[in-house]
Structure 1
Amino acid sequence: MEHESIEVIVITPINLTEDVQKVVIAVKNVLPDSELVIRKNNLYIKMNNFNGLRKIKDKIRSKKTLAVLQRILYNNYNMQSTWFLLNKQAAFSDVVVLVENENESPLGPIKITVNGCELERINEWFEK
């Protein structure tokens, strides 16, 4: 899978009421080995493989949570691209909580988009 031309993009809003460092901590808790870029009111990460998602994968241990993630990935899949959302406040506490829509995360979610990969390959990676 690492030979595929994949791209993982993470975007997180930074609200005016939020401490930028707390948003950085939240994202670093779930994506520890990533390089962050802050532009305007958003925090961005771009990766060329799945390795940066390993901590999220490790924290999604239960079959029920994995099934929810797979359903979300399936529902959002289009033309070798899919995405899922994490609760930013939970991430600050080093907990991975999937959210199904942006309204479930009052301060805005962490959006993780995977481009250039078949859905089956993404699911296989999370299952291993």
Structure 2
Amino acid sequence: MKIPKVACKIEVYAAVNPSEDPDKVRLAVSKVILETDYQYKEGSIKAISHELESISKIQETIKKHRSNRVYRRQMRYNTKGDTTWFYLNKQAAFVDVIAICEEAEESAMGPIKVILHSKDLDKIMDWLAPDDREITG
């Protein structure tokens, strides 16, 4: 499915625990959101993008592992107005694996939080994790 042309803001956050190297946490975040600037402040790494392409790796993983139902459920449950979010496992991201966490506690060192903002949130969700009825072949 082609990336929809919609105005959006994607924020990705990960706490940096006292026992963690900020560079390693930044590396984990960089495996989730591509080609963006990263900021370290107040004990967390933050990345912001305005391009859906920056999370295409998440979309490819969802498609490859057919995990769209889990992601859709989390995004629907966490939707408030023009915003939704979901957690990813920080340790898995560090080794270049995209793995959703339904609860923050599922990621022992804390999760990576992906927040999506858009007036066209449904289009983004349909691209990121298509409804089973929309998937062909």
TM-score by length of 2: 0.85
* Displacement after TM superposition at 1:69 (Å): 0.3
CA-atom RMSD, angstroms?
Answer: 1.5
Is 1:38 aligned with 2:55?
Answer: no
- Secondary structure of the corresponding residue to residue 43 of structure 1: strand
Preserved contact between residue 73 and residue 119 of structure 1 (Cα < 8 Å): no
> Which 4+ residue blocks in structure 1 deviate beyond 6 angstroms?
none
Please point out which of 12, 17, 20 is paired with 1:18: 20
Preserved contact between residue 81 and residue 116 of structure 1 (Cα < 8 Å): yes
Residue type of the alignment partner of 2:20: E
* Displacement after TM superposition at 1:49 (Å): 2.2
Preserved contact between residue 74 and residue 119 of structure 1 (Cα < 8 Å): no
Alignment gaps of 5+ in structure 1? none
TM-score by length of 1: 0.90
Work out the CA distance in 1 between the residues paired with 2:109 and 2:36. 21
The sequence identity of aligned pairs, in percent, is: 29
- Secondary structure of the corresponding residue to residue 30 of structure 1: coil
Which whole-Å deviations, capped at 9, do the CAs of 1:74-112 have from their partners, x for residues lacking one? 000110110011000000111011001111111111101
Residue in structure 1 matched with residue 116 of structure 2 by the alignment = 114
Which whole-Å deviations, capped at 9, do the CAs of 1:16-47 have from their partners, x for residues lacking one? 10011211111112223121111120101111
Alignment gaps of 5+ in structure 2? none
